[in-house]
Structure 1
């Protein structure tokens, strides 16, 4: 007489082994990778939410506009108000997210003439890069996201 084998116990054991294997793999990835936050100020921005909203509103009321231009290896940023007058003595900086790095580095911008801020790109800065532009003056702040393709 032929007996019929039941495959359910084998299937259940295989399912439990897959679940345990995936759980171990997931835990190891979580331990090795660390946080994937690329902006070092990510958590502090949440804590300062109300103050940054006020800064952005102040810049919006002032009508600040930023025009970006790449000339050779120099990034030029023209900062003007709603009347088209240059905004002088602003504290400008650019945060570069370089390829292969998980952190950004803030680099200061130089004001060469009223309302014109520049940043010179180095020879090593090539390819596609994300950047965040930031200007602050007298409690008003404006931020812009940039995608550079060099």
Structure 2
């Protein structure tokens, strides 16, 4: 009578072939899209925004080339910073600041360093700052910059 009644069709080979062809098709399409050019979302000047990495590196190298050496002394609430060249001459005319990251109120406080005498810069911490304080000290002049991370116990 009917000989095909007991036989079932095996779909697995067709399914595997279909998945393989689909994978190759999507791979080919993605390679084609990649060769067309960059995405319109890409900003060619991405690295010149934000942190100003190149400018900071130039400033750091300029400070290293000039041979600046920095030392700090804490006298009570006063921070004294001495800045000299590799030959021991005082570095004058710098603008300086310290950015404090206070643990107690989780805010940022910027304090200015004032030049007291040639190569000697100082500032007073506010009386309400106590305990361990973290901050970034920065002195710069004519494109040269020297920075240090400070941890001060008041």
Shorter-chain TM-score above 0.5: yes
Q: Secondary structure at the match of 1:83?
A: coil
- Measured against aligned partners, the alpha-carbon deviations of 1:32-80 in whole angstroms (never above 9, x if no partner) come to xxxxxxxxxxx832xx000100000000001111110011211000011
Higher helix share: 1
Is 1:123 aligned with 2:116? no
Is 1:70 aligned with 2:74? yes
Greater gyration radius = 2
1:82 deviates by 1.0
How much is the aligned-residue C-alpha RMSD, in angstroms? 1.3
Report the TM-score when normalising by structure 1: 0.67
2:96 counterpart (71, 83, 92) = 92
Number of residue-to-residue matches in the alignment? 106
| Structure 2: gaps of 5 or more residues | 1-48
- Measured against aligned partners, the alpha-carbon deviations of 1:78-102 in whole angstroms (never above 9, x if no partner) come to 0111111110010110011112344
Report the equivalent of 1:109.
113
